[in-house]
Structure 1
Amino acid sequence: MEDALNLPLADVTVIDIATLLAGPFAAALLGDYGADVIKVEHPSGDPLRRFGHVYEGVPLLWKVANRNKKSVVLDLKKPEGRDHFLRLAAQADVVIENFRPGTLERWGVGPDVLERINPRLVLTRVTGFGQDGPYASRPGFGTLAEAMSGLAAMSGDPDGPPMLPPFPLADAFAGVQAAYATMVALHSRGLTGRGQVADVAITESMIGALGAQLPVYDKLGLKPDRVGNLSNSNAPRNVYRCADDRWVAVSAPAQSVADRVMRLVGRPDLVEEAWFSSGTGRVAHRDVVDEAVSRWIAERNRDEVVSEFEAVEAAVAPIYEVDDVLRDPHFRARNVVIDIPDDELGSVRMQNVPFRLSATPGSVRWAGPRLGEHTEAVLEAVEPKPVDADQGKAR
């Protein structure tokens, strides 16, 4: 296992006081690349410890979302917990939080206090609706962002209700945005010598991810239709049942790919139609396009479909369940899933780091820790001078 000192963020200390998913996921991404992430939890523990599936009393999502972190128990509402936190923050590079706006200020550890004790600190604040505006004080979770961004309205079948994703998509995406915002702020600090506040709203993260829906409505007055697994931009694009009752996904956004698909399924005549030369034209005739692809696939087993598509360099993928992911030879060759030793579980399989750097690749060094596992060691290592937040210096 790679030594954290050799990782690219080994000189960055992150204090993660966020709960549940978006903020902690951002901190985990930084920890994957070597940041020293100190997870500060209330004595009752992060609510994520009581969320989702458990194995022999151990929360499994916790092990993933809080990997590469040290757990420290502090009650920031109490003077002693506040003082310990300020000592940590005085020596840190980043603090990540996701409480409602005004919460840190009420506890006496708001951005003005943090700036006085550590002008180089980056404070990343992840909330549902941002730090200001009419909705700032509302509780905000990923589901609300998926609803209000337009994602749910465009998801689902034409005759069905709006559909939410079956996993915390908005939280995960906002976590990526928060990690990126943190890195941009750290880069800026390298130029200016000063930290700043990064205000990350989960709703805005999702709105920004949904492509051209805003300019399309602005200029054309069109709203995205719910089209199930079809696409409003290209055809063929759908999921198809094979003869062995397994499924594949097909997408042909490029003209050349659509051409190859239709020739493969025995409909070269469609390629000669004038409308076939654009995505818009194919969408307007997607019933005939989709029927041709569906009929051809339904007559063949999944392995045969994938093999023949690949032979003509057309885009296809089998619809995987989680056990398929574990068996896939490509994912195995690239170590997409890794097995991490763990004191509570013996070992636990989880996804590897999300991207690869050629010179300084990240690593998962341990899974999510026990509650308060590192409290004593972390607090003993902090400079034992009390911090006077009013004066902005140690005394």
Structure 2
Amino acid sequence: MTQTAAEGPLKDLVVIEMGTLIAGPFAGQILGDFGARVIKIEDPKTGDPMRQWGRSLPQGLSPWWPVIGRNKQSVTLDLRTPQGREIAGGLIAKADILIENFRPGTMEKWGMGYEALSAINPGLIMARVSGFGQTGPYASRAGYGLIGEAMGGLRHVTGEPDRPPARAGISIGDSLTAMHAVMGITMALHHRANTGRGQMLDVALYESVLAVMENLVTEYDLTGYVRERSGSILPGIAPSNVYPCAEGEMILIGGNGDTVFARLAETMGRPDLAKDPKFIDHASRGVNQGELDDLIADWTRGFTLPDLLALLEADGIPCGRVFRAPDMLENEQYKARDTIVETDHPVFGKIKMQGAFPKMSETPGKVRWPGPTLGQHTDEVLTGLGGLGAEKVAELRSKGIV
């Protein structure tokens, strides 16, 4: 597995990642995609559990780890031992950024809270990722993604109205938290560039979910309305739904703007709909949403998905298929923008995964290598940045500390 030189806007930064599963490590993945040197510290015996996660395990290996571990260096250290923590502290002293997602209080118990670490590295930016934040009565609780999604309001509005709350199908709460962590890190870097001082970022999962919940709280505060589950629609926004096609396929159509709806009505051969008092404007279509969706569904059933896509696209009506992985690999838009990239894996050979986003004109991100093997870079990092001799590293390995 060839590891190329760092490229991207963050190539001069050193990041220490002390976290497992998704929220913290996804933040590290994003920084690594854009050139940061991300040194991931893992338990010598087990490593990150993501190494074993996945619905299927081709050749006994997780297909998840190559993605979330990409562009990182793996160093094994037993942080439960004083020597392991001492070595980690030496690395952090030379780092720009530390990402950790242990339960609040763990780092302080180890003598590695922000005050202690900033004393040896005043420019350190420490991103602390947790379920409920570092303060408050919930701080010490275990906080997995599903709990944060529920507390932040997402679970209650996801799913069909006559069924229990559903999940998004991915760990969206963890991913949103990682993105907020990276957003905070970039702002802290700007502050440090102006002042020379680092800072601590307190990134709570439930707050990261709440941040994307639009006007949910304000609407209740002003009107008393509690937003509920609405399935595939947003109440009052019509037409904007998934509709049936011939041969059991489905199409998404968004025609809720007045001018777009008028074009849709023309395409349907029903220009009268745009003048009907029940559908003449945004508010009217929202009130009569169910009736309008039924009319559109009756029309879409008469077309195959490809034919209907071509027809609607020709008339400038927002539409699309419901993409699955096979559709992504075959789609011309994905291919034109290299949205899916291919990289070399030591066991799988060539593997495909999503690229680095957003695309930047001068300093683009890049997948340089997939998730490394456990401890692959221990010797390189500890004898280099860590300042230890090869014999010392060998001694620590014999004791199970690395």
TM-score bracket, normalised by the shorter chain, equals over 0.9
Instruction: State how far apart, in whole Å, the 1-side matches of 2:323 and 2:272 are.
Output: 33
Contact 2:9–2:35, Cα closer than 8 Å, also in 1: yes
Q: Secondary structure at the match of 2:211?
A: helix
| Equivalent residue, structure 2, for 1:390 | none
Tell me, yes or no, if structure 1 residue 94 matches structure 2 residue 106: no
Distance 1:11 1:233, change over 3 A: farther
Q: Mean alpha-carbon deviation: is it higher for 319-328 or for 4-13?
A: 4-13
Q: CA deviation at 1:301?
A: 0.3
Instruction: State how far apart, in whole Å, the 1-side matches of 2:280 and 2:361 are.
Output: 40
Contact 1:142–1:202, Cα closer than 8 Å, also in 2: yes
Q: CA deviation at 1:303?
A: 0.5
Q: CA deviation at 1:277?
A: 4.6
Tell me, yes or no, if structure 1 residue 32 matches structure 2 residue 33: yes
Distance 1:293 1:4, change over 3 A: farther
| Equivalent residue, structure 1, for 2:114 | 111
Aligned AA (2:283): T
Q: CA deviation at 1:349?
A: 0.8
| Equivalent residue, structure 2, for 1:15 | 16
Q: Secondary structure at the match of 1:319?
A: coil
Q: CA deviation at 1:87?
A: 0.8
Instruction: State how far apart, in whole Å, the 2-side matches of 1:300 and 1:288 are.
Output: 20
Tell me, yes or no, if structure 1 residue 283 matches structure 2 residue 282: no
| Equivalent residue, structure 1, for 2:53 | 51
Deviations 1:70-114 (A, max 9, x none): 000001111111111011001000000001110001111111111
Aligned AA (2:42): E
Tell me, yes or no, if structure 1 residue 130 matches structure 2 residue 130: no
Deviations 1:2-46 (A, max 9, x none): 954442101010000111001100010000000000010011211
Structure 2 residue ranges without an equivalent (≥5) = 390-402
Aligned AA (2:174): D
Deviations 1:239-272 (A, max 9, x none): 1121121111112242222222222223322211
Aligned AA (2:171): P
Q: Secondary structure at the match of 2:220?
A: helix
Aligned AA (2:8): L
Match runs of 1:1-395 below 5 Å: 4-43=5-44, 44-52=46-54, 53-382=56-385, 384=387
Deviations 1:324-343 (A, max 9, x none): 11100110111111111011
Distance 1:5 1:19, change over 3 A: closer
Aligned AA (2:23): A
Structure 1 residue ranges without an equivalent (≥5) = 387-395
Q: Secondary structure at the match of 1:228?
A: coil
Contact 1:125–1:199, Cα closer than 8 Å, also in 2: yes
Q: CA deviation at 1:49?
A: 1.4
Instruction: State how far apart, in whole Å, the 2-side matches of 1:346 and 1:366 are.
Output: 12
Instruction: State how far apart, in whole Å, the 2-side matches of 1:372 and 1:253 are.
Output: 53
Distance 1:230 1:383, change over 3 A: closer
Distance 1:233 1:23, change over 3 A: farther
Instruction: State how far apart, in whole Å, the 2-side matches of 1:75 and 1:9 are.
Output: 28
Instruction: State how far apart, in whole Å, the 1-side matches of 2:113 and 2:190 are.
Output: 23
Deviations 1:336-383 (A, max 9, x none): 111110112212110001211101111000000000000000000025
Distance 1:379 1:233, change over 3 A: farther
Contact 2:123–2:192, Cα closer than 8 Å, also in 1: yes
Instruction: State how far apart, in whole Å, the 2-side matches of 1:278 and 1:41 are.
Output: 57
Contact 1:16–1:95, Cα closer than 8 Å, also in 2: yes
Aligned AA (2:274): V
Instruction: State how far apart, in whole Å, the 1-side matches of 2:269 and 2:290 are.
Output: 16
Contact 1:225–1:232, Cα closer than 8 Å, also in 2: no
Instruction: State how far apart, in whole Å, the 2-side matches of 1:383 and 1:302 are.
Output: 58
Q: Secondary structure at the match of 2:357?
A: coil
Q: Mean alpha-carbon deviation: is it higher for 78-87 or for 279-288?
A: 279-288
Identity %: 39
Q: Secondary structure at the match of 1:56?
A: helix
Q: CA deviation at 1:279?
A: 2.9
Q: Secondary structure at the match of 1:239?
A: strand
Aligned AA (1:45): G
Q: CA deviation at 1:172?
A: 1.0
Contact 2:243–2:300, Cα closer than 8 Å, also in 1: yes
Instruction: State how far apart, in whole Å, the 2-side matches of 1:66 and 1:293 are.
Output: 45
Q: Mean alpha-carbon deviation: is it higher for 169-178 or for 376-385?
A: 376-385
Q: Which runs of 4+ in 1 moved over 6 A?
A: none
Give the TM-score taking structure 2 as reference length. 0.93
Instruction: State how far apart, in whole Å, the 2-side matches of 1:385 and 1:351 are.
Output: 37
Instruction: State how far apart, in whole Å, the 1-side matches of 2:109 and 2:280 are.
Output: 61
